[in-house]
Amino acid sequence: MKNSIYIPNHLRSAGRELRLALKQPLNQLSHETFLRAWCSVAYLFPGLHPDGFEDADSGWPRVLKRFAAEAWRRADAGELADEEMYPSDAQWSGLYDQMHTHEPDEMERRLALAADFGEPLNA
């Protein structure tokens, strides 16, 4: 299975991925399109965790719970690798991009993640 992790370059691109995904039923999205939206959820809302998303006190907004439900459906069907189900690099990048002060090693990691998994700058 090909790993399709995606890391948005900024809030606008993450929001764009979510809007595009919501234009059709999530179960009809291609693997890549769903992963781009799922990683965007992790980027935009790094405090959410897919485990226990259905719990009333999970913190998941109702509109986003369907992304978690679809991620679990795909994971249970063997369509998502663990690193796709738990996109921690996208989550970390979202936290990093919201910080005001960055350490050199953090900047190096963020640049490496953008180079490996980000979108082209002209996208």
- pLDDT (tens digit per residue) in 55-69: 999 999 999 999 999
Q: Does a structural domain hold residue 5?
A: no
Q: Does a structural domain hold residue 2?
A: no
121: confidence class by pLDDT, cuts 50, 70, 90: very low
Q: Is the pLDDT of residue 1 over 70?
A: no
Q: Does a structural domain hold residue 78?
A: yes
Q: Does a structural domain hold residue 4?
A: no
Domain count, the chain: 1
Q: Does a structural domain hold residue 18?
A: yes
122: confidence class by pLDDT, cuts 50, 70, 90: very low
Q: Does a structural domain hold residue 56?
A: yes
Q: Does a structural domain hold residue 123?
A: no
Nearest one of 35, 21, 24, 49 to 79, comparing CA atoms: 35
Question: Residue 97 sits in which domain range?
Answer: 11-117
For residues 29 and 32, what is the distance between their CA atoms, to the nearest angstrom?
Answer: 8
Q: Which tops the pLDDT comparison, 53 or 102?
A: 53
- Tens-digit pLDDT profile for residues 4-49: 789 998 899 999 999 999 999 999 999 999 999 999 999 999 999 9
Which pair of tokens denotes residue 105?
A: 């090693």
Q: What is the CA radius of gyration of the chain?
A: 14
For residues 9 and 50, what is the distance between their CA atoms, to the nearest angstrom?
Answer: 22
Nearest one of 47, 46, 60, 48 to 91, comparing CA atoms: 46
On average, the pLDDT of the chain sits at 90
The residue to which tokens 């990691």 are assigned: 109
Q: Does a structural domain hold residue 1?
A: no
